[in-house]
Copies of this chain bind each other. A is one copy, B any other.
Amino acid sequence: MSNPKNKAGTPPIKSPSRSSRRATSYDVARAAGVSQSAVSRCFAPGASIAPATRERIIKVAVELGYQPNALAQGLISGRTNMVAVIISNLTNLYYPEVLAELSRQLTTRDIRVLLFSLNAESDVDAVLDQVWRHSVDGVISAARLSDAQIRLFGEHDVPLVLYNRTSKSAPAASVCCDSAAGERDLVERLLAAGHRRFAVIAGPADSYVGEERRSAALNRLEEAGITDVPVTRGDFSYDSGRAGVHAIMATGALPDALICVSDLMAIGAMDAARIDLGIAIPETLSIVGFDGSGPARWANYDLTSIRQPVRRMTDAAVAMLIERIEDRDTSAERRLFAGELLSGHSARLG
């Protein structure tokens, strides 16, 4: 009875009907006539094992359909090869692109994605609890976290990379598109083309990027001596962009340039202007957006916008995260990427 597994001499399997229990490293070891340790080493990256032994074990492992149990691996090694991705609302046109790209890049590096998608009501703290419990190796968050929440990552010693967010008081690694520069750029081009009567459709007050874009636009306008700029707020949705146009027109303002802080709102605004109000774009009204998401490039809209370099940004986010997983003492760093101007034809540019 040298079987290390059944010290107590367990009786025949209890449920013979459900016989196909998953093979463990012990099963492989027994069948290959080696120790369980040998099997483990066989699947470890740079372990010392004789080629012959290795080959024999692999053969048996394949026969038995053995694959290491990720739970057990994670429990003992402290690495799960899982990263949590927290994203605020998937219905936003821009996030699916980011998520797809993140997922692709993480998969490439043999890391799995544990997805947490927040809807408005959902509780971030509850999500974070799950994050701790599941021992993920790190977190990429494109959702709004409070400074206190960011600090929790330090306490739990879980690497974090923020996507298109930052925090001044709590230091955290982050990857952002330079919204301010992009927005200033757009405004300058609009000014150069002779626009003087501006209006803005901003985002919700608690949106980091939304506020950054709004204030960048207003600041640049102020520098140009333009201060009387009607601002209305939307929630980044198509409908809110459409409603925004009506809200602005209702004030009696007659802008010749409309700045929307997201593409989706810009698209809603274009439809409202052209279809509801019969305004010619860009002849009578210039409209600009931000993000460079798919529909912005559809022929019907051909939006003038700033395209975020999603590929490079997600690339950087993943690289930064892995760096911090490998060396937890890597200090906070903020990487800022310039957006690319999509000229489009929804605005007259100078």
CA separation between A133 and B82, bound complex, in Å? Answer: 12
Residue A148 at the chain B interface, CB threshold 8 Å: no
A14 at the interface (CB under 8 A from B): no
- Which residues of the other chain, B, contact A75 by a CB distance below 8 angstroms? 69, 71-72, 75
Residues of chain B with a CB closer than 8 A to A119's CB: 100, 104
Majority SS of interface residues in chain A? Answer: helix
A240 at the interface (CB under 8 A from B): no
A22 proximity list for chain B (CB < 8 A): 132, 156
**Interfacial chain B residues near A18, Cβ < 8 Å:** 157, 328
**Which of A108-116, A168-176, A206-214 sits within the interface?**
A108-116
Interface residues of A in 9-29 (CB under 8 A from B): 18, 20, 22
Residue of B nearest to A75 (CB): B71
Q: Judging by beta carbons under 8 Å apart, are B134 and A70 in contact? A: yes
Taking the full assembly, how many copies of this chain does it contain?
2
| A258 CB to nearest B CB, Å | 17
Q: Which of A88-96, A228-236, A283-291 makes up part of the contact surface? A: A88-96
Distance of A328 Cα from B20 Cα, bound (Å) = 14
Instruction: Give the contacts of A111-141 with B (CB-CB under 8 A).
Output: 112-117, 119, 122, 129-130, 132-135
Residues of B within 8 A of A71 (CB): 71, 74-75, 80, 134-135
Which of A55-63, A215-223, A294-302, A315-323 is the contact stretch?
A: A294-302
Q: A97 near B: Cβ within 8 Å?
A: yes
Chain B residues with CB under 8 Å of A100's CB are: 89-91, 117, 119
Q: How far is the CB of A110 from chain B (nearest CB, A)?
A: 9
- In chain A, residues 187-230, which have Cβ atoms closer than 8 Å to a Cβ of chain B? none
How far is it, in angstroms, between the C-alpha of A3 and the C-alpha of B328 when the chains are bound? 31
- Report yes or no: A104 in contact with B80, Cβ–Cβ below 8 A: no
Task: List residues of A (261-300) whose CB comes within 8 Å of B's CBs.
Answer: 267-268, 270-272, 274-276, 294-295, 298-300
Q: How far is the CB of A327 from chain B (nearest CB, A)?
A: 13
Residues in chain B near residue A275, CB distance under 8 A: 299-300
A294 with B69: CB separation less than 8 A: no
Q: A67 contacts B129, CB within 8 Å?
A: yes
Q: Which residues of B sit under 8 angstroms from A268, Cβ to Cβ?
A: 298
Whether, in the assembled complex, A238 has its beta carbon less than 8 Å from a beta carbon of chain B, the answer is yes
A117 to B107, CA, bound (A): 9
Q: Supply 10 A–B pairs (Cβ within 8 Å), ascending by A.
A: A22-B156, A69-B135, A71-B134, A82-B114, A85-B115, A95-B96, A99-B117, A107-B116, A114-B115, A271-B299
